Chains A and B, each alone.
Chain A
Amino acid sequence: MNPNSQHQLWSRWTARVTPDPDRALPPYDVVKDNCARFYRKAFGAATELNLTGSNVPGACWTIDCRTEGHPAHDPDYVRFMVGNLRHFLESGFGPHAAVAFEVKFEAGDRQDGRPADQLIIGPEPVVLDNRLLRR
């Protein structure tokens, strides 16, 4: 993946969901399968999805999606997609689920006359060896 190739648009769509307390909490695998299916339909194949959460009451779920080819610089498009995603998440987590979205345009041409945005994704962290030296 080279997010800085010409004519590519990269964006990140992060949803944080606190499930409806009156709704039975779905198992992690069910949420994962449903999110994978829906996000693939919504965004297509060039999409990376990370899911964190648990069915402990009150726990927050995070659905973090990085995708290519979607005009996240267009407020109308963002409104449309967030509406679809919100509908999907409220169907699964309950109508009183608290759903918050963050949409970031990461790389590509915003079509505003400025040079295209570029993206660097940080490396795996440097980790010091935990073992103490033994003589």
Chain B
Amino acid sequence: MANALYPKYKEALLNKVHDMDTDLIKASLVRKSGTDTGGTYTYSAAHTAKTDLGTTVSDSPTLTTPTIVDGVFDTADFVWTAVTAGNQVSIVALWNDSPTSPVADPLVVFYDTGMTGMPVTPNGGNINFTVHASGWFAL
């Protein structure tokens, strides 16, 4: 599956569920079914909430300095701190920790391709994430 905005995110965006520059946007590392040992997640366009990801490897703190200029969503770089050592990880997913309705913690976007340094095999240390110079996604 290529990188994609979750269709249910787009639907929720049109229903005023998300306020991308004030809500608590977070990023999770997730193991991919069939690719990462122990991975259970497979992208589905029907997925709506963070619970659909199953058990995540690590969740980031709230991403800082969110901006939404000209339809482009961007944030500052961030760190997953002391990620437990284990099998490789191939997926980064963004989700919103603010909304509680129609679902809690709605998913935003899914990435599994085009990332330098991925898949990454956590070694117990920090994993630094540098956001692309052009941001996360553009509407």
Contact = CB atoms under 8 A, between A and B. Distances in A.
Most B CB contacts (10 A, CB to CB) among A2, A118, A128 go to: A118
Given A123-B3, A125-B72, A126-B109, A114 B125 contact: yes
A127 B126 CA distance: 29
B114 A124 contact: yes
B130 A121 contact: yes
Interface string A27-58: 00000000000000000000000100000000
Given A118-B120, A119-B117, A124 B126 contact: no
Contact of A118 (B72, B117, B134, B138): B117
B85 A123 contact: no
A115 B123 contact: yes
Contact of A122 (B4, B5, B85, B131): B131
A124 B109 CA distance: 13
B41 interface: no
B117 A127 contact: no
B114 A120 contact: no
B77 to A, nearest CB: 8
Contacts of B122: 118
Nearest to B73: A125
A121 B131 CA distance: 6
B136 A122 contact: yes
B3 to A, nearest CB: 5
Interface string B87-129: 0000010000000000000000101011111101111111111
A74 interface: no
Mostly, the B contact residues are: loop
Given A126-B5, A126-B137, A116 B123 contact: yes
Given A106-B130, A126-B138, A127-B137, A121 B116 contact: yes
A1 B139 CA distance: 30
Contacts of A119: 116-117, 127-130
Interface of B: 3-5, 72, 77, 85, 92, 109, 111, 113-118, 120-139
Given A118-B120, A121-B115, A121-B130, 16 more contacts: A4-B120, A114-B124, A116-B125, A117-B127, A117-B128, A118-B128, A119-B117, A121-B129, A122-B111, A122-B115, A123-B132, A124-B114, A125-B132, A126-B138, A128-B137, A128-B138
16 contacts: A2-B117, A3-B116, A3-B117, A114-B125, A115-B124, A117-B126, A118-B122, A118-B123, A120-B92, A120-B117, A121-B129, A121-B132, A125-B132, A126-B5, A126-B137, A126-B138
